[in-house]
C-alpha cells in the first residue's frame, strides 16, 4: 500500500504468526543472497589488472571481452520474466546457482591457461545466470516490502554493497598475497553455490504460485492425455475433454502478458532510469580500479581499495535508504541521487590529486546507491505484473552493460579511463528528466492495468 504522498503505508491487515515467520525468513535469506552476489562479483572485478597482465590485454581489449557478459545478460534478461512465470522462481534460481559457479571457475581458468576464449565464455555465462538470478530475486524483495509495509528494498541492495565491499577487500588481499585468480574464484564458486542452494527455498513468496502452476499444468496435460484415451474408448463425452489447444492458449496468454510490459510507457521510462544508473554503477565496477591504477600510477591493491570506497559509500546510503525514501519520496530521492552522481563523476575524472578524486568516488557512490532499488520498487508496484515489468527494466540495465565496456574501453585508449568516466554524467541528467515516473501507482491505476491485462488475455 502507498499513501497519497507516494510513501509506503502500514498494511491494512497484520500478518499471521506463520506468515510473519515466513516473511522474516525470506527477508533474511534474500539479504544473504544479495550479499553473496555482491561478494563474488566484486572479488572478481577487483582482479581485472591481473587478468589484463595474464592475457596481455589493453583496456580496449578488456572492454571487448567484457562485452560477452553484457550480451549474455541482455539475451536472457528479456526471457527471465516469462521463464519465472512458466517455471517459477525456485527452479530458475536453482539452475542459475550452478551456472554462476561454473562461470566463476571458467573466469579463473582462462587467465591461468592464457586462453582468452575461456575467459570470454565464463563472462558470457556469468552474464546469463546473473540476469536470470536478478529478476526473481528482485520480484521477491518487492513481495517482502509489500508485506512489511515499509520501503525496505534498498536494504537488500545494501546487503549487495556490503558483500561487494567484502569482495573488494578479498580481491585486494588476494592480489597483495599473490593468490592465483583460479584459486580465489574456484573457492568462491564452491562456497557460494552451497549457501545459495540452502537459502533459495526460503525466499519464495511471490513466485511460488507460478511454481505450483507449473505442476498444475503438467497435471492438466497428463489428464488431457488420459481423457483422450478414455474418449476414444467411449468413456467421456467430448465436451468434458480439455484439448491440447486449450492448454496451448493458456500458455500463450501467460507469455503474452509477460511480454506486454514492453508496451507500457511508464515501464519503459523506468527502464531508461535503470539504464543511466546501471551505466554509472557498472562503469565503477568495471573501470574504477583500472582508472586509479592508470590515472594515478597506483598499485592494484590501491585500485581495489578505491572500488571498496565506492561500494562502502553505496552501502551506507542504502542502509539509511528506507528512511530517506519515506521522508522525501521516491521522486526527490532520485533527483538528489542524480545530482550527487554528476558531481562525483566530474570530481573524480577532473581532479589533479588523489584525495579529491576519492571524494568524488564517495559522492559517486552516494548517487548510485538508491536509484536501482527505487526503480525496481516502482516497477513492482502492481504485484500482478511485477515479474514482467522487472524483466523489462532489467533489460535496460543489461543494455547499459552491453554498451559501457567496449565504448568506455575505446574512449579510454584516447583520453584515459578516468576522464572517460566523466561522460556518464550526461546520462545522469536523464534520471532528473524522467524522475516523475518512479512515483508509486495509485490504486485506480493498478486496477486499470489489471483490467487491461485481463482484456489482453481474453483477446488471446
- Which range scores top for mean pLDDT: 36-50, 217-231, 260-274? 260-274
> Rounded distance, CA 9 to CA 94, Å?
33
**Coil, strand or helix: which one is 8?**
strand
**Coil, strand or helix: which one is 54?**
helix
Whether the CB-CB separation of 204 and 140 falls below 8 Å is answered with: yes
14, pLDDT greater than 80: no
Name the helix (H) or strand (E) containing 184.
helix 181-203
As to burial, measured by CB atoms within 10 angstroms (0-12 exposed, 13-18 middle, 19+ buried), residue 18 is exposed
448, pLDDT greater than 70: no
Q: How many CB atoms lie within 10 A of CB 26?
A: 21
In the block, cell 572492454 appears at: 63
Q: What is the pLDDT of residue 200?
A: 93
In the block, cell 534460481 appears at: 93
Q: What is the pLDDT of residue 359?
A: 93
> Rounded distance, CA 36 to CA 196, Å?
8
Q: Write out pLDDT tens, residues 112-125.
A: 999 999 999 999 99
More confident of the two residues 112 and 172: 112
239, pLDDT greater than 60: no
More confident of the two residues 193 and 301: 193
**Coil, strand or helix: which one is 2?**
strand
> Rounded distance, CA 351 to CA 367, Å?
18
Q: HEC states along 256-289?
A: HHHHHHHHCHHHHHHHHHHHHHHHHHHHHHHHHH
Name the band, by pLDDT with cuts 50, 70 and 90, for residue 83: confident
Q: What is the pLDDT of residue 365?
A: 93
Contacts of 84 (CB under 8 A, 6+ apart): 92, 135, 136, 139, 207, 210, 387, 391
210, pLDDT greater than 50: no
**Coil, strand or helix: which one is 298?**
coil
> Rounded distance, CA 324 to CA 318, Å?
9
Q: What is the pLDDT of residue 34?
A: 93
**Coil, strand or helix: which one is 9?**
coil
Q: What is the pLDDT of residue 376?
A: 87
Residue 165 CA neighbour count, 13 Å, CB half: 14
Average pLDDT, the chain: 80
More confident of the two residues 143 and 205: 143
Q: What is the pLDDT of residue 407?
A: 76
Q: Specify the range with the lowest mean pLDDT, choosing from 381-390, 426-435, 440-449.
A: 440-449
213, pLDDT greater than 80: no
Name the band, by pLDDT with cuts 50, 70 and 90, for residue 275: very high
CA dihedral over 15, 20, 26, 31, signed as positive or negative: positive
For residue 406, CA distances in Å to 25, 62, 118, 274, 342 come to 41, 8, 19, 19, 22
Name the band, by pLDDT with cuts 50, 70 and 90, for residue 251: very low
More confident of the two residues 86 and 435: 435
What is the rounded average pLDDT of the residues 326-334? Answer: 91
454, pLDDT greater than 60: no
What is the rounded average pLDDT of the residues 420-434? Answer: 92
> Rounded distance, CA 178 to CA 301, Å?
11
Q: What is the pLDDT of residue 459?
A: 43
> Rounded distance, CA 400 to CA 285, Å?
13
Q: How many CB atoms lie within 10 A of CB 255?
A: 16
> Rounded distance, CA 130 to CA 437, Å?
26
- Which range scores top for mean pLDDT: 20-29, 117-126, 130-139, 152-161? 117-126
C-alpha cell belonging to residue 113: 591457461
What is the rounded average pLDDT of the residues 295-320? Answer: 82
What is the rounded average pLDDT of the residues 421-445? Answer: 85
Q: How far is CA 422 from the centre of its chain?
A: 24
In the block, cell 521463464 appears at: 83
More confident of the two residues 360 and 255: 360
Q: What is the pLDDT of residue 395?
A: 80
Beta bridge partners of 298: none
> Rounded distance, CA 259 to CA 99, Å?
25
342, pLDDT greater than 50: yes
Q: Specify the range with the lowest mean pLDDT, choosing from 35-39, 96-100, 172-176, 178-182.
A: 172-176
Q: What is the pLDDT of residue 124?
A: 94
Name the band, by pLDDT with cuts 50, 70 and 90, for residue 256: low
What is the rounded average pLDDT of the residues 118-145? Answer: 89
pLDDT > 70 in the chain, percent = 79
Q: What is the pLDDT of residue 221?
A: 57
DSSP class per residue in 394-447: HHHHHHHHHHHHHHHHHHHHHH-HHHHGGGGHHHHHHHHHTGGGGSPPPHHHHH
Q: Specify the range with the lowest mean pLDDT, choosing from 90-104, 267-281, 286-300, 394-408.
A: 394-408
C-alpha cell belonging to residue 412: 579510454
Domains of the chain: 21-208+261-454 (1.20.1250.20)
Q: What is the pLDDT of residue 363?
A: 95
Q: What is the pLDDT of residue 16?
A: 64
371, pLDDT greater than 60: yes
What is the rounded average pLDDT of the residues 54-70? Answer: 83
Beta bridge partners of 8: 2
Amino acid at each position: 500500500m502507498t499513501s497519497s504522498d507516494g510513501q509506503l503505508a502500514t498494511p491494512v491487515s497484520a500478518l499471521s504468526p506463520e506468515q510473519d515467520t515466513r516473511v522474516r525468513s525470506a527477508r533474511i535469506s534474500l539479504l544473504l543472497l544479495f550479499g553473496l552476489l555482491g561478494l563474488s562479483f566484486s572479488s572478481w572485478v577487483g582482479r581485472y589488472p591481473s587478468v589484463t597482465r595474464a592475457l596481455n590485454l589493453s583496456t580496449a581489449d578488456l572492454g571487448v571481452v567484457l562485452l560477452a557478459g553484457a550480451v549474455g545478460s541482455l539475451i536472457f534478461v528479456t526471457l527471465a520474466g516469462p521463464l519465472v512465470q512458466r517455471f517459477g522462481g525456485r527452479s530458475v534460481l536453482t539452475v542459475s546457482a550452478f551456472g554462476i559457479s561454473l562461470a566463476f571457475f571458467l573466469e579463473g581458468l582462462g587467465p591461468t591457461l592464457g586462453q582468452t576464449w575461456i575467459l570470454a565464455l565464463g563472462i558470457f555465462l556469468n552474464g546469463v545466470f546473473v540476469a536470470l538470478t536478478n529478476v526473481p530475486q528482485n520480484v521477491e524483495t518487492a513481495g517482502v516490502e509489500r508485506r512489511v509495509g515499509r520501503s525496505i528494498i534498498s536494504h537488500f541492495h545494501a546487503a549487495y554493497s556490503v558483500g561487494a565491499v567484502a569482495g573488494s577487500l578479498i580481491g585486494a588481499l588476494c592480489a597483495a598475497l599473490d593468490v592465483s585468480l583460479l584459486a580465489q574464484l574456484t573457492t568462491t564458486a564452491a562456497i557460494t553455490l552451497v549457501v545459495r542452494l540452502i537459502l533459495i527455498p526460503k525466499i519464495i513468496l511471490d513466485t511460488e504460485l507460478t511454481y505450483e502452476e507449473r505442476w498444475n499444468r503438467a497435471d492438466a496435460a497428463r489428464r488431457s492425455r488420459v481423457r483422450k484415451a478414455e474418449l476414444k474408448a467411449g468413456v467421456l463425452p467430448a465436451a468434458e475433454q480439455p484439448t491440447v489447444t486449450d492448454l496451448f492458449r493458456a500458455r500463450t496468454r501467460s507469455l503474452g502478458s509477460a511480454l506486454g510490459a514492453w508496451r507500457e510507457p511508464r515501464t519503459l521510462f523506468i527502464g531508461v532510469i535503470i539504464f543511466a544508473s546501471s551505466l554509472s554503477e557498472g562503469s565503477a565496477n568495471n573501470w574504477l580500479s583500472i582508472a586509479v591504477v592508470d590515472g594515478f600510477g597506483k598499485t592494484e591493491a590501491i585500485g581495489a581499495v578505491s572500488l571498496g570506497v565506492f561500494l562502502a559509500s553505496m552501502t551506507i546510503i542504502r542502509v539509511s535508504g528506507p528512511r530517506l525514501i519515506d521522508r522525501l519520496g521516491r521522486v526527490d530521492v532520485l533527483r538528489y541521487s542524480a545530482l550527487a552522481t554528476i558531481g562525483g563523476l566530474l570530481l573524480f575524472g577532473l581532479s589533479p590529486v588523489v584525495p579529491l578524486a576519492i571524494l568524488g568516488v564517495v559522492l559517486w557512490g552516494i548517487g548510485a546507491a538508491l536509484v536501482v532499488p527505487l526503480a525496481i520498487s516502482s516497477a513492482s508496484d502492481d504485484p500482478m505484473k511485477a515479474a514482467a515489468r522487472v524483466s523489462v527494466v532489467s533489460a535496460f540495465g543489461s543494455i547499459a552493460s552491453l554498451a559501457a565496456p567496449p565504448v568506455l574501453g575505446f574512449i579510454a585508449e584516447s583520453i584515459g579511463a578516468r576522464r572517460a568516466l566523466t561522460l556518464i554524467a550526461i546520462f545522469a541528467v536523464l534520471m532528473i528528466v524522467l524522475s516523475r515516473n518512479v512515483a508509486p501507482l495509485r490504486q485506480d491505476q493498478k486496477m486499470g492495468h489489471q483490467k487491461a491485462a485481463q482484456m489482453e488475455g481474453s483477446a488471446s
